[in-house]
């Protein structure tokens, strides 16, 4: 058994980043940006009006009020998409709509509500004074050309898609999705929808893995439940090692008589880096490397398997796509937490804000076979090794499940 942090360093030293691919903006939601994206132009690209109104010379409106209007001569119209070539001189104005180019000579916009309105008349009454620059959105005030818009490693959401469109990018360079193989082992496993015979249970781990892989934005290209026999394992694994970036198994890596997964990994030339980590649950955790593949053998117990994926596989998948991982939070326990003397201890739990403080409590069920503990949880709580339990009031690390929120 090796210490948790040592095992983490080993995994990190074998992690690698995947290449890029170019995809259309419409397909980019949920992908990870592979390059820094810079502003192709300033924003706004040209001085334009923030209001529907009249472009004026501010000094021509001096002293204008509701009871003492100033009359200006209307010389042209500037609409969004149809700029006016006219230049305004003393005592003149131009109708100027929201988003329309500010005409030459103008240095302020009077909004239409403060005038006699849009009409076919050749003159306009102005009912208020304008300061220079009023209601003008100036070129480059939001961003200068060449400025960093979005950093490499950012998850593409509506915000990023909106910005890419704003700056005219129709394609994006994103990280390739990790190709992963998931498999479960066990003669006792039956797929949901079938009847159970004596001693059998339903396979749940692969359903959890498939969803977690999708949430991590990886692509499951192979998945199967395999009997506890070496030939079937060999067949699945040799193909998985040849085609996938990551292979993840559940079960079959402990000390059981039929736990063949580790043997077959080794037979197929996988280099073992460790297979027992100082953590609970999930001490039997195999990590190995093939030619271009990382291999995680997670234990079969459903809670160990789920937490093992989140603590070990998830960060590796993010790193493969150059995505920065989120840091754990620190909160105060409202109930005691069962610490271990040499193992890092994980439990599903709930975190929430109480009196402006982040607090949390572990799930009421603590067995590694009790997957219902995940139902109540928005987090995985994690205690460093130490003597005795952690009491209510003590601090603990909180890894919020990335698709959950704290309220």
Residues in contact with ligand AMP by the rule CB under 6 A: 184, 186, 188-189, 201, 203-206, 250-252, 254, 256, 299-302
- For residue 315, the partner it binds in Mg ion, ligand AMP, none, with Cβ less than 5 to 8 A by kind, is none
- For residue 188, the partner it binds in Mg ion, ligand AMP, none, with Cβ less than 5 to 8 A by kind, is ligand AMP
CB of residue 253 vs Mg ion: minimum separation in angstroms? 9
Burial of 55 (0-12, 13-18, 19+ CB in 10 A): buried
Distance, CA of 128 to CA of 117 (rounded, Å): 13
| CB closer to ligand AMP out of 53 and 184 | 184
Residues 215-274 binding Mg ion (CB under 5 A) are 251-252
Distance, CA of 303 to CA of 247 (rounded, Å): 19
Give 104's Cβ-side CA count (13 Å radius): 4
Distance, CA of 63 to CA of 41 (rounded, Å): 39
Residue 64 phi, psi (nearest 5): -70, 140
To the nearest 10°, report the CA torsion of 276, 277, 282, 288. Answer: -60
CB of residue 274 vs Mg ion: minimum separation in angstroms? 20
Point out which span in 93-101, 185-193, 215-223, 306-314 binds Mg ion (CB under 5 A).
Answer: 185-193
Q: How far is CA 107 from CA 66, 88, 135, 152, 189, in A?
A: 21, 10, 10, 39, 76
Q: How far is CA 290 from CA 11, 152, 270, 271, in A?
A: 13, 28, 5, 6
Indicate whether 282 belongs to the interface with Mg ion (CB under 5 A): no
| CB closer to ligand AMP out of 167 and 309 | 309
H/E element holding 10? helix 4-14
Indicate whether 331 belongs to the interface with Mg ion (CB under 5 A): no
Scan for tokens 């010379």, then name that residue.
Answer: 57
CB of residue 378 vs ligand AMP: minimum separation in angstroms? 23
Among 83, 186, 290, 299, binds Mg ion (CB under 5 A): 186
| CB closer to Mg ion out of 251 and 302 | 251
Burial of 162 (0-12, 13-18, 19+ CB in 10 A): exposed
Scan for tokens 């980019």, then name that residue.
Answer: 28
- For residue 290, the partner it binds in ligand AMP, Mg ion, none, with Cβ less than 5 to 8 A by kind, is none
CB of residue 402 vs ligand AMP: minimum separation in angstroms? 23
- For residue 250, the partner it binds in ligand AMP, Mg ion, none, with Cβ less than 5 to 8 A by kind, is ligand AMP
Residues in the chain: 407
CB of residue 206 vs ligand AMP: minimum separation in angstroms? 6
CB of residue 252 vs Mg ion: minimum separation in angstroms? 5
| CB closer to Mg ion out of 252 and 315 | 252
- For residue 332, the partner it binds in Mg ion, ligand AMP, none, with Cβ less than 5 to 8 A by kind, is none
| CB closer to ligand AMP out of 152 and 283 | 283
Indicate whether 297 belongs to the interface with Mg ion (CB under 5 A): no
Alpha helices in 131-270 (DSSP H): 158-166, 205-215, 230-243, 261-267
| CB closer to ligand AMP out of 83 and 251 | 251
Would you call 17 helix, strand, or coil by DSSP? Answer: coil
Point out which span in 135-143, 181-189, 271-279, 393-401 binds Mg ion (CB under 5 A).
Answer: 181-189
CB of residue 313 vs ligand AMP: minimum separation in angstroms? 15
CB of residue 202 vs ligand AMP: minimum separation in angstroms? 7
| CB closer to ligand AMP out of 8 and 227 | 227
To the nearest 10°, report the CA torsion of 182, 187, 188, 193. Answer: 60
Q: Give the residue at shortest CB distance from ligand AMP.
A: 300
Cis peptide before 396 (omega within 30 of 0): no
What is the C-alpha R_g of the chain?
Answer: 31
Residues 94-113 binding Mg ion (CB under 5 A) are none
- Give the number of other Cβ atoms within 10 Å of residue 319's Cβ: 19
- For residue 184, the partner it binds in ligand AMP, Mg ion, none, with Cβ less than 5 to 8 A by kind, is ligand AMP
Indicate whether 284 belongs to the interface with Mg ion (CB under 5 A): no
CB of residue 228 vs ligand AMP: minimum separation in angstroms? 8
Scan for tokens 């192709």, then name that residue.
Answer: 40
20-24 and 171-175 as β-strands: parallel, antiparallel, unpaired?
antiparallel
Size of the site for Mg ion (CB under 5 A): 3
| CB closer to ligand AMP out of 14 and 234 | 234
Burial of 156 (0-12, 13-18, 19+ CB in 10 A): buried
Q: What are the residues binding Mg ion (CB under 5 A)?
A: 186, 251-252
């Amino acid at each position: 058994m090796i210490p948790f942090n040592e095992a983490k360093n080993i995994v990190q030293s074998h992690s690698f980043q995947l290449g890029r691919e170019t995809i259309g903006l419409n397909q980019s939601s949920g992908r990870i940006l592979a390059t820094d994206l810079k502003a192709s132009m300033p924003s706004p690209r040209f001085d334009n009006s923030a209001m529907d109104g009249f472009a004026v010379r501010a000094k021509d409106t001096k002293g204008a009020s509701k009871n003492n209007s100033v009359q200006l001569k209307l010389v042209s119209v500037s609409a969004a998409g149809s700029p006016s070539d006219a230049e305004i001189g003393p005592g003149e104005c131009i109708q100027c709509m929201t988003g329309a180019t500010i005409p030459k000579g103008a240095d302020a916009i009077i909004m239409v509500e403060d005038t006699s309105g849009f009409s076919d008349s050749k003159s306009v009454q102005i009912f208020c004074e304008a300061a220079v620059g009023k209601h003008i959105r100036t070129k480059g005030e939001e961003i200068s050309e060449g400025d960093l818009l979005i950093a490499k490693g950012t998850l593409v959401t509506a915000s990023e898609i909106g910005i890419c469109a704003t700056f005219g990018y129709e394609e994006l360079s994103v990280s390739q999705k990790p190709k992963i193989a998931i498999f479960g082992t066990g003669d006792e496993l039956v797929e949901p929808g079938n009847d159970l015979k004596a001693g059998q249970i339903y396979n749940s781990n692969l359903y959890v893995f498939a969803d977690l892989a999708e949430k991590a934005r990886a692509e499951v290209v192979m998945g199967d439940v395999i009997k506890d026999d070496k030939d079937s394992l060999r067949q699945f694994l040799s193909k998985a090692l040849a085609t996938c970036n990551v292979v993840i198994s559940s079960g079959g890596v402990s000390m059981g008589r039929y736990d063949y997964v580790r043997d077959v990994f080794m037979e197929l030339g996988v280099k073992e880096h460790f297979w027992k980590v100082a953590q609970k649950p999930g001490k039997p955790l195999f990590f190995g490397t093939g030619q271009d593949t990382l291999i995680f053998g997670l234990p079969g117990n459903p809670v160990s398997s789920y937490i093992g994926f989140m603590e070990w596989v998830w960060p590796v998948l993010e790193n493969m796509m150059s995505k920065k991982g989120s840091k754990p939070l620190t909160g105060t326990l409202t109930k005691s937490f069962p610490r271990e003397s040499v193992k890092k201890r994980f439990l599903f739990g709930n975190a929430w804000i109480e009196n402006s403080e982040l607090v949390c409590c572990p799930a009421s069920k603590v067995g590694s076979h009790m997957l219902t503990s995940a139902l109540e949880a928005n987090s995985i709580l994690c205690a460093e090794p130490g003597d005795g339990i952690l009491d209510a009031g003590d601090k603990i690390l909180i890894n919020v499940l990335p698709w959950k929120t704290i309220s």
